[in-house]
Each structure stands twice: as C-alpha cells, then as structure tokens.
Structure 1
Amino acid sequence: MKKLTTLLAASLTAGLILSACGKKEEAPAPAAASAPAAATKIVVGLDDHFPPMGFRDDKNELVGFDIDMAREAAKRLGMEVEFKPIDWSAKEAELNGRRIDVLWNGLTITEERRANIGFTAPYLENHQIVIVAASSPIKTKAELAGKIVGVQEGSSAVDAVKKDPAGNALKELKQFGDNVTALMDLSAGRLDAIVVDEVVGRYYAAKKPGDYVVLEENFGTEDYGVGVRKDDTELLAKIDKAMADMKADGAAAKISTQWFGTNIVK
C-alpha cells in the first residue's frame, strides 16, 4: 500500500511539473513611449569683444544690446538663457556641433551663411564703415589703394572688402581676433584703416571723438539676424514670434534707445 501511495504521489508531482512547463507566460506590456522633454534653456553663442552688441563691462559681466534682446526673448519663451563666448571665426562649427543653440551677436545675413544657418527676420540694418585715424589724409575708399586695412577674422567685413573693387587694390587685408585689437593697431599706426560693423565702429569712435574719423563711403549695407541650426525650425519660429512681439509692444525700441539713444530696430 505504501508503495502504491508513493507511486501515485510521484505521478501527480510529474503531472504538475509538466503542466507548469507547458504554460506560456504572457509578456509584459511595453511601456508607453514618453514625448521628448521640451527645451528649457537656450545657449547663445557670441563674441564677447563686440560692443555694444555683446561685451564685458568693468565688472567682467556680459552686457550689450544683443544680450538684452536675447534675455527679453528668452523670458517670453519661458526659457533660461546662457551666454557662451566662442571663437567667432568658428561660429558655424559651434552651432552645428550643438555646443550652442543660437548665434545672436550682430550676425550678418549673407547668402553664403544661409547655406549652413537658418536666420530669423532681420532686426537691424548695418553698414561696413571705414575708420581712419583723425590725422589720416585718407578721405575715400579709393585712397585705401596700397594701404594696410584691418578687419575682424570671420566677420562679414572680410567678404565685404574682398567683393568691393577698392578691396583689390589694398596692400594687405590684415585679420584680427577682435575689433578692439584692430583699433589698437590703428591708433599705433600699424594700420591705415579698419573696416567694421557700423554699430561697433561708431560706438568706439564716439568714446574717443578726437582719435578716429568715419569716412562717408562704406563697404555696403547688410542686415543682422539671429542664427539657428537649419533643422531647428521650431526654435526659429519661436524666436521670430518673440522678436515680432517685442517690436510691436515697444520692448525692442526701449532696449535700442538704452544702447543707441534712438530706436534703430528694423
């Protein structure tokens, strides 16, 4: 009897094991895909030696017209803004390498740049002006022939001079890391002139009215815009909307008046 009971128990155990092995477990339901988090910060790339657009004050803090414009736009977008000084000659690599989100620092809109950068609507009109020392006999672009002229490396001044017939007659087009250094060389007599964005050049010329003269002729008119990555169309649309609202409600005019004494926003 004991032997029979043992056999029945073994048989029952084997049956339960086989039943368990044959049961197919249901796979857990896949987790619902979550939407990507909305960006909460915008990183602005700039040249921090570009007054009055973006530069460092006596306390080494970043200030400027474009700094204030970017802060106001970011506030309207509900985003934090970070300002990141970059090598301006490598600005497109910084932008497309995603180390920054926008270029907002007196960036001239050109067809060459449009190939790699998405631009907002223009917000300022600019000229590439010629500055000479107050003692200089140079009065026209034609008189720059055979002279040494300074420009900032990577700036639109480089292209503006090279495209102009007067630029072909120069002895040398010398490029500098920033406009401040170029102006120092002009004051020291190592340059005969510099070509620079009007908003920057007139800012410096006004600070030292007895040192510099701005020629009546210039190397062309251009527009400033905010640059974003070509595929970042959503951010571009948001900045365009914020800028349009700032122009409409007077915020842009107020910032412009603080820096230029009048509203020069386009």
Structure 2
Amino acid sequence: MKKLIAAGMAVIMSGLLLIGCGAPQKKIVIGLDDTFAPMGFRDDGGNLVGFDVDMAKEAAARLDMEVEFKPIDWNSKEVELNSKKIDMIWNGLSITDERLQKIGFTKPYMTNRQIIVVLSGSDIKTKADLAGKVVGTQEGSSSLDAINAEPEVASTFKELRTYGDFVAVLNELTIGRVEAVVGDEVVLKYYMSKKPGTYDVLEDNFGEEDYGVGLRKDDTELLGKLQSALDAMKAEGKSAEISKKWFGEDIVK
C-alpha cells in the first residue's frame, strides 16, 4: 500500500512540475483596433496580424507570458483599460498630454505624422484649402485630437465627420462623401498602397507624434518589465527585423 501511495504521489508531483515548467506565469490581454493596418488587423483568413501584434508576441514570450488580443471600441480604449477588461493598449497608440493623464506609457517606439489625404486631381493642395470642405477622420483617435488642436483651421471646415475606423473614412473619400481625410501616416499609406494612383498626400500635415504602449498607471511593475523587454528587442535587432517585415525598413525609435 505504501508503495502504491508513494508511486501515486510521484506521478502527481511530476505532473505539477511539468505544469509549472511549461505554462506561462500570467496571461496579458491586449486591446486593439483590428482594422488598424499594418499595426494590428485581420488578414484574408481572419487572423490578427501586424507590426504591433508581432512586437507584442515577442515581448510576451520574453516575459514568459501568454498573450490574448482583444478587439475593442477604440473610442472607449481608456475605459476598457482602467476597468481591467484589458491589460494593455498596443496598436499605434499615440502619446498625448491628455492620455498621459489617464494611462501610463512605455518609451516611444515609433514616430508618426498626421497626414492629409485627398483624391488624385483634387483642388485641395494645402491645409488652407480645407476651408469649406468636408473632412473625415476616426472617432476617438489622436488624428481627431490633432485637428482640434488647430481650431483656427478646423473652424473653417464645412463639416468634420468621424467614423469607426480608417477603412470607412477612406471609403467615404473614394465615393465623395468627404473631400479630405486626416489620419495616421503609417496606416493611411498602407491602405493607399493597395490602390496606387487613387490618392494624393499633401505636404501640409497636422503634426508629428510618438507611438507607445499604454498600461494602467498603477501597473508600474509590468510596465518596467515590458520596457526592459522592448529595450532588449531593440538592442538585439529583433524590433528592426519585425519593422523590415512590415515597412521594408527599420523605423523603430
């Protein structure tokens, strides 16, 4: 009987050791807009892919954590984070003064511009030409913040319309319901590349900004570990490798 008990205990203990060695210590849930190509979006098979998705997977592996990606309403991203429905916002999240008051950020890892896109052949050539025009952007985005930060320009628009994502905004531009689009350069240029000759980018823009990963302000330990992982990825050339896959060059800061 003692031998049977001892054997049984050995089996249980070996199973526990296997579980302890093989399983990640924790799962982190990352919130994203799943139409924000090439940062995080769905491929033709419906799989979540993109630059930020690859970066998050690599960082999570280095932290020995399981990662889950959760599409969210981008307009409610801070609420999703602070209500603990997600643990991070990692999807081309611009670092702004307003957001810094609500959430914590990693160091910037990429610079982005807020560009103005029009249809090829448009009579809109400068920011001043937006006067009397219908302009579109994504709701809850830093693009909207950038427009509102220039009230002397925004006040001249005939109308400012917001949409759930930039795919919808560009569609509205294509069919003529808006006359110009303001949005993230990395995203709009990706979609523009799919329809060469359809759009033009103005030289004028609504400013530069940096992307960072957003966490809850009190999640300082996780933020520190994540930053260390990102720093190591940069130093070892892994982030450059991921950048070249999606952008053809290393644009990581």
Taking structure 1 as the reference length, the TM-score comes to: 0.85
Shift of 1:250: 0.2
Alignment-derived partner of residue 236 in structure 2: 249
Alignment-derived partner of residue 122 in structure 1: 108
Shift of 1:66: 0.3
Contact 2:25 2:64 in 1 (8 A): no
Alignment-derived partner of residue 65 in structure 1: 51
Q: Distance in 2 between matches of 1:233 and 1:168?
A: 40
Q: Distance in 2 between matches of 1:202 and 1:122?
A: 21
Alignment-derived partner of residue 162 in structure 1: 148
Which residue of the other structure, out of 42, 49, 62, is the alignment partner of 2:28?
42
Contact 1:128 1:198 in 2 (8 A): yes
Q: Distance in 1 between matches of 2:174 and 2:185?
A: 18
Shift of 1:207: 1.5
Q: Which amino acid aligns with 2:186?
A: V
Alignment-derived partner of residue 209 in structure 1: 196
Q: Which amino acid aligns with 1:40?
A: K
Contact 1:162 1:168 in 2 (8 A): no
Alignment-derived partner of residue 84 in structure 1: 70
Taking structure 2 as the reference length, the TM-score comes to: 0.89
Which residue of the other structure, out of 175, 178, 181, is the alignment partner of 2:168?
181
Q: Distance in 1 between matches of 2:149 and 2:134?
A: 17
Report whether the alignment pairs 1:239 with 2:194: no
Alignment-derived partner of residue 251 in structure 2: 264
Deviations 1:168-225 (A, max 9, x none): 2111110000100010000000000100101001111122121111111110000000
Equivalent position SS for 1:89: helix
Deviations 1:12-54 (A, max 9, x none): xxxxxxxxxxxxxxxxxxxxxxxxxx95111000000100000
Alignment-derived partner of residue 17 in structure 2: none
Alignment-derived partner of residue 143 in structure 1: 129
Q: Which amino acid aligns with 2:130?
A: L
Alignment-derived partner of residue 190 in structure 1: 177
State, as a whole percentage, how many aligned pairs show the same letter. 61
Q: Distance in 1 between matches of 2:155 and 2:57?
A: 41
Which residue of the other structure, out of 83, 88, 106, is the alignment partner of 1:97?
83
Q: Distance in 2 between matches of 1:177 and 1:61?
A: 20
Q: Which amino acid aligns with 2:180?
A: A
Q: Distance in 2 between matches of 1:59 and 1:154?
A: 28
Report whether the alignment pairs 1:152 with 2:138: yes
Q: Which amino acid aligns with 1:95?
A: L
Unaligned residue ranges in structure 2 (runs of 5+): 1-23
Q: Which amino acid aligns with 2:165?
A: D
Shift of 1:135: 2.5
Deviations 1:71-100 (A, max 9, x none): 000000000000000000000000000000
Q: Which amino acid aligns with 1:54?
A: G
Kindly report structure 1 stretches of 4+ aligned residues shifted beyond 6 Å. none
Equivalent position SS for 1:116: coil
Unaligned residue ranges in structure 1 (runs of 5+): 1-37
Q: Distance in 1 between matches of 2:233 and 2:155?
A: 42
Q: Which amino acid aligns with 2:133?
A: K
Q: Distance in 1 between matches of 2:195 and 2:132?
A: 27
Alpha-carbon RMSD: 0.9
Equivalent position SS for 2:208: strand
Equivalent position SS for 1:44: strand
Listed as ranges, the matches of 1:16-31 within 5 Å are none
- Who wins on radius of gyration, i.e. which is larger? 1
